[in-house]
Amino acid sequence: MNVIDVLRYAFSAIKLRKLRAALTTLGVIIGIMAIVALLAISQGLQTTISDQLNQGLSANSLIVIPSIDDSDNEGGGFGVSFGGVDSSGFRLYVNQTSEVESLSPNITSALAIIQRSGRIVSESENLNRSITIYGVDYATYSQTYSSFEAEYGTVPFNPRNDTIVVGSRVSDPRSNGTQFVFPGDDVALLWLNATVLPPVYENYTARVSGVLGTVGGFSIGVGPSDTGVYIPLSTAQSFFDTDSCDMMIVTLTNSDNATITEVSDLIKDYYGGQVAVISPEAIQSVLTSVFSTIQLFLVGIAAISLLVAGISIMNIMIVSLIERTREIGILKALGMKSRTVLMIFLAESVIIGLMGAIMGILGGWGLANVTAMVLASGILGGGGNFTITPMLSPTVVFGALIFGVGVSVIFALYPAWRASKLKPVDALRHE
């Protein structure tokens, strides 16, 4: 028998046992569906976060923050803290920005950022929600990040002390068009001062000057955020009673690696090695590494279901072998070779694996899109605004096909080998 005849015979054998074949294929479908859905969502999530980081991190900028004393820590990671103070008590100060700018002609600006958690309250609009308060210089911040632009109102470059700019989800918390804060509204900003006992809420009344456009659902506390409230840097110093800042954003003339390395070394030397200087490329590299590990872990979990499907294929084909023993004996008595019997059983496994992989890929893609819609709808919390676009790369499709067919064939090898070794006389005697 040639290959086409073998495939035709295998397919007819599957059609005669539709229910059994469907149950066998279902195991492959579930396994491939899980792998495809998880990879599509994770790749989409990685792309979404990368896009948000690109918006929040200029390619020609550096993040300067106090470093953690990790002399006892041989591990990896950034080795940094976003709290503004390391374990030795080292601090960055607002008035150091001009000195940092003078370190190199490749530095165009240095921006100090003060960051605290707080609340925004508007009794007239029934608004009371948690926010992150950022103290920044509006003019420098808008030059560093193009997304710091008002959709409603304006971002003043010479603001009054009580002027604030709010993120889109501060104005529209539910992201459904129901706005609670408008330009010109007076609101109260509250901050829990834990430096005194008992802790007290410090507050002041501010006037909204502008509402930012939607930035996105992810933020690492550097670029503009949908849940941020921005106040003038001088106001933040008095409101939080501090002259230190949590971080500095240093903007360079270009994004060349040589320039980034040179300026990073100059800043580290200036602070005596007490700071960590992070480039967007470093964050993207760590992000890629983390997601690669996560994807490998997810594939490993999903592969367990394929292992179960493979065992099911082996069991069902062994049962099929027992039921078809007499049929095999007749075929061999008519002159069919053992190799042909082996090929028939393996062909059945290939057909089952291929059908299961194709349906699993389609089902996984559909599941990934449904999951993305559920996350975006806000049903699971977070107020929606968690947009993920699943991505199905050719590598994932090809890998799923190979994986599905491969598992089916591997677990069908033993039953196929047993079938090929049956002796015609013993097979014909089988009841």
Q: Say what the pLDDT of residue 229 is.
A: 92
Q: Is 178 exposed, middle or buried (0-12, 13-18, 19+ CB in 10 A)?
A: exposed
Task: Say if residue 34 is in the same domain as residue 105.
Answer: no
pLDDT at res. 169 = 85
Q: Which of 253, 273, 293 is the last residue of a domain?
A: 273
Co-location of 201 and 348 in the same domain: no
pLDDT of residue 213: 86
Tens-level pLDDT at each residue, the chain (431 residues): 677 877 887 778 778 778 878 887 888 888 888 888 888 888 888 777 777 666 656 678 888 988 765 444 333 344 444 455 454 578 899 999 999 999 999 999 999 999 998 988 886 667 788 888 999 999 989 888 888 888 889 998 888 888 999 988 888 877 666 778 888 888 999 988 877 778 888 888 999 999 998 876 555 556 788 888 999 999 999 999 899 999 999 999 888 888 888 999 999 999 988 898 888 777 777 777 887 888 788 777 767 767 777 787 777 777 777 777 777 778 777 777 888 888 888 888 888 889 989 999 999 999 989 988 887 776 655 544 557 788 888 888 998 898 888 888 888 888 778 777 877 766 566 55
Pair 343, 401 in one domain: yes
Same domain membership, residue 131 and residue 264 = yes
The number of folded domains in the chain is: 2
Tell me, yes or no, whether 132 lies in a domain. Answer: yes
Pair 242, 345 in one domain: no
Residue 82 lies in a domain: no
At which of 242, 273, 304 does a domain end? 273
Cα 90 from Cα 69, distance rounded (Å): 10
What pLDDT shows up at residue 103? 92
Amino acid 71: pLDDT:
44
| Host domain of residue 388 | 3-54+285-429
Tell me: do 118 and 186 sit in the same domain.
Answer: yes
Residue 353: predicted pLDDT: 87
Residue whose C-alpha is closest to residue 23's, from 322, 308, 411: 308
Flag whether 66 is in a domain. no
Q: What is the CA radius of gyration of the chain?
A: 32
DSSP 136: E
Residue 62 lies in a domain: no
**Residue 84 counted as domain residue:** no
What is the structure's pLDDT at 76?
Answer: 39
133 found inside a domain: yes
Please indicate, yes or no, whether residues 153 and 218 belong to a single structural domain of this protein: yes
On whether residue 78 sits in a domain, the answer given is no
The answer to whether 35 and 303 are in contact (CB under 8 A) is yes
Last residue of a domain, one of 273, 294, 311: 273
pLDDT value at residue 21: 81
In 275-406, DSSP assigns E strands to: 275-278
pLDDT at 231: 93
CA dihedral 413, 414, 419, 422 (to 10 degrees): 140
132 and 257 in a single domain? The answer is: yes
Q: Are residues 123 and 267 in the same domain?
A: yes
Residues 368 and 416 in one domain: yes
Structure tokens belonging to residue 51:
């896009």
Residue 67 lies in a domain: no
Looking at the fold, whether 330 and 384 belong to one and the same domain comes out as: yes
Q: Are residues 29 and 121 in the same domain?
A: no
SS3 64: strand
pLDDT (0 to 100) of residue 359: 93
Contact status, residue 65 vs residue 80, Cβ threshold 8 Å: yes
